[in-house]
Amino acid sequence: MSRIVGIDLGTTNSLVAYIDAQTKEPKCIPGPYGSTLCPSVVSLDADGSIVVGEAARRRLLTQPERTIYSVKRLMGRGAADVQDELKLFPFRIDPNSRNVIRVQLGDTYFTPPEISAFILRELKSWAEAFLGECVARAVVTVPAYFNDAQRQATKDAGKIAGLEIVRLVNEPTAAALAYGLHEKQRGHVAVYDLGGGTFDISVLKLISTSDGDIYQVLATNGDTHLGGDDIDNLLQALVRESIRKEHGVEISGKPELAQELRKALIAAKHQLSAAAQADIRFPLPNGAIFAMPFSREHFDNLIRPIVDRTMGPVKAALADAHLAPSEIEEVVLVGGTTRTPLIRSTVEEFFGRKPHTELNPDEVVALGAAVQANILERGVSNMLLLDVTPLSLGIETYGGAVSKIIPRNATIPASAQEQYTTGVDNQTGIDIHVLQGERELAKDCRSLARFTLKTAPAPAGLPRIDVKFLIDANGILQVSAKDLRTGEEHSIEVQPSYGIDDTEIERMLEESIEYAEQDFAERQLIEARTESEAILSATEKALGNPQGAELPPEERAAIEASVATLRESVTGSDYKLIRRRIDELNRATERLAELLMNSAVQSALEGRKLAEV
Amino acid sequence: MSTPTQAPVSTDYFAVFSLPRKLWIEMNALEQKFLQLSWKLHPDNFVNAGDAEREASLRRSSELNDAYRTLRDPMDRVEYLLGLEGARREGEQKQQAPPELLEEVFELNESLDELREAKAEGGDLAVLRARLESAEKNFQHQLEQVDGELFATAKQWDATVDAEASGANVHGEREAAKSRLNELLNRRSYIRNLVVNVQKELL
């Protein structure tokens, strides 16, 4: 079977990893800029093409209204859910959005799965370029505390990107896999994963059996809206207030300036991970410079409420696993935000042991995803992962109460069966409302799906329909029903409350292929422009050399004409034209290159182009 | 919304682990068997397999997990056994107060009301709290008693299973054990709810 890669689709950065055939070790794949981190930023160019990653991140400063970051925060959520986020993030949401949000980039609207699909497609292309083969299957990680709708949205993103997601793996579990392989850990392990936008805590038991190693998740907890972004937002609020007070300058309502400030503050935050003091310096549009010394102590006090918020889920997960902090043998830190010293010391103090940080916290989840991908690819393995569902599954009963049918932390796949009948004579439909969450009332839980069981008219209480609710190994709900009187299997049309239906996904897939073609053109254009810059500057340099002066005037004029036409073509977006002009200039400068080479190390350089000399 | 009628029993969770329907289970052996079956049945092994095999793996591994989850917990195990033996219906635990507890429950509810009132109007909470704490202790104690009786009755049930396996006719004892278990389970869940409610108010 074809290769399966591992992908960490993160809030801030995304990565793709594979298993090296020689070393059998997982490795992250670098992108065109040499880094393995692909910023989870997507930008829509004025000409309609899509830019992803580092190039898009740079556009946050120049074209913030065409660029989006942290879209993971919006996955699987409805318009009503994200009002709080909108106060802090410059998301421009379609005012007509209801159950599926649409975000505006320039003058076009996209759903969060479509934007995530652009990121997946980018990573797919990194992997294909690096491995030299077509990549069509992936294991993708999600926060352990993601609910059904958020998982479904991630799977949809894969479909739109033309990538089959063979398994969704929980991020802390993936990290445990990578560490287990690396450190040969055994016993009870706690994984504390604080990323850009999400927090997870998972408690695992690592068991050696005669068949191999089992990674059994005992309990998981978390907060899908808690992360480094929240630290950035606190810093922003603090500094904006100071700027307003000291300089009378208002930052909000100025997207470019806000992004500049965000960038400066993130840099200061990173600085404070290593140093006791950072100096925030920020030039203001009125020419003044805002300067503020910022100590680690001040920073710690600022972010303590956020760190404290993570400890509630930590305690809850331990309680569910029936373990005391002292019974945890290993603690693993995952996610870039765990570089923060206050987090390290808080976790260390709570568990009474030094946490593992040996593996790069940015890469470890992707590495674990590659390990799981390899297990699935081979079908048989000496490693087995037993994960759990983070939230209880329930159904609404009379009076808006919820009856729990699969408890949280149940090992998945897990199922529950319920039998339904009618309450009045000749009733032809029974409404079922499926929910996820720990609260007792339906209105406080997350609505997953509503559907109607159809029955033939009969006296009340006579129909008997068995409904099977199954949470699969991805943590996604499947429902099937069987009429016990007729033996008929019902296929249930489950309309996800916060999902996109299949025809929509089809349309998005088609559109994304169009974008992919534009992506290709965009990439070609960038490369052609870079190449022309190199040859233009080399030509100019050569013409100014003493050897350049030896050139006959008509050749010199020909070169100058070629330079002018190439310069002109670079301003356009036709990469084929630029390539032709580059070739022309190369031909026009052949003689000049020869002259230069004669004067230099003649023998070694013969036959090379001017830009290479 | 409609209420589920009866929990349908499609598989015998005891049979999944090749166990007799006895209430005393050796937990280590159960875990070992669970892990061993997980290796065989987990969907991770069937990603490249055909639809039918994948479907079967999903069904059987979810059944295994459901069975392990249920049998691992002593109370869930009793409740499941009674359902399997046709001695219990879904929703039965939402019972009225056992007659012998009526007076205590009445007093407790009164104290709870008074505490809520005092909280709302800013009255003196210390006395009421103390009263509720002692009531909680009392019900906790009763819970322990019920657990003790459950344990003893479970042993009786297991004895009937063994006796039946060796050919004895213990139908009467069997039915008696079942109905006693059912009664105790209802009593337990009733008291447990009381304790939870008191704890919520005392938080």
pLDDT tens-digit readout, A590-604: 888 777 766 654 444
Label the pairing between strands A429-436 and A477-483.
Answer: unpaired
pLDDT of res. B19? 94
pLDDT tens-digit readout, A354-381: 999 888 989 999 999 999 999 998 876 7
β-partners of residue A50 are A44
B28 touching chain A per CB within 8 A:
no
| Greater model confidence, A423 or B36 | B36
Residues of B in contact with A398 (CB under 8 A): 1, 3
Please say if the pLDDT value at position B98 is more than 80: no
pLDDT of res. A33? 83
Q: Which of A222, A237, A13 shows the shortest CA–CA distance to A123?
A: A13
d(CA A230, CA A364): 22
Q: Give the Å distances, CA to CA, from B138 to A348, A481, A562.
A: 40, 46, 97
d(CA A186, CA A208): 8
A72 is catalytic: yes
pLDDT of res. A610? 52
Closest chain A residue by Cα to residue B43: A473
pLDDT of res. A605? 42
pLDDT of res. A608? 53
CATH code for the part of the protein at A4-226+304-386: 3.30.420.40
Please say if the pLDDT value at position A500 is more than 70: no
pLDDT tens-digit readout, A18-54: 999 899 899 999 988 889 999 999 999 888 889 999 9
| Greater model confidence, B198 or A174 | A174
CA angle (B106 as vertex; B146, B138 as ends), nearest 5: 40
Residues of A in contact with B56 (CB under 8 A): none
pLDDT of res. A21? 87
B27 touching chain A per CB within 8 A:
no
Q: Which pair of tokens denotes residue A365?
A: 């989840």
pLDDT tens-digit readout, A409-460: 999 999 999 888 888 888 888 888 998 988 888 888 888 888 888 888 888 8
Closest chain A residue by Cα to residue B72: A410
B/e letters for A238-274, b = 16+ CB within 10 Å, e = fewer, are: bbbeebeeeeebebeeebebbbbbbebbbebbebbbe
Inter-chain contact A419–B7, Cβ cutoff 8 Å?
A: yes
CATH code for the part of the protein at A504-612: 1.20.1270.10
- Of the candidate ranges A93-97, A382-386, B91-95, the one whose mean pLDDT is the lowest: B91-95
Reported ipTM: 0.85
| Structural domain spans, chain A | 4-226+304-386, 393-500, 504-612
pLDDT of res. A329? 92
pLDDT of res. B62? 95
B7 touching chain A per CB within 8 A:
yes
What angle do the packed helices A148-160 and A502-544 form, to 10 degrees?
60
Arithmetic mean of pLDDT, B100-123: 78
Inter-chain contact B39–A212, Cβ cutoff 8 Å?
A: yes
Most confident of A163-167, A415-419, B49-53: A163-167
End-to-end CA distance of chain A: give it in Å, rounded: 46
Q: What is the mean pLDDT of chain B?
A: 84
| Greater model confidence, A469 or A1 | A469
| Greater model confidence, A198 or A348 | A348
Kindly state the percentage of chain A with pLDDT values over 90.
38
Q: In the block, which residue shows the tokens 């937990």?
A: B27
Distance from A39 to chain B by nearest Cα, in Å?
30
**pTM of the predicted model as reported, rounded to 2 decimal places:** 0.80
Which of the four CATH numbers 1.10.760.10, 3.30.420.40, 2.60.34.10, 3.40.50.1240 does domain A393-500 have?
2.60.34.10
Kindly state the percentage of chain B with pLDDT values over 90.
45
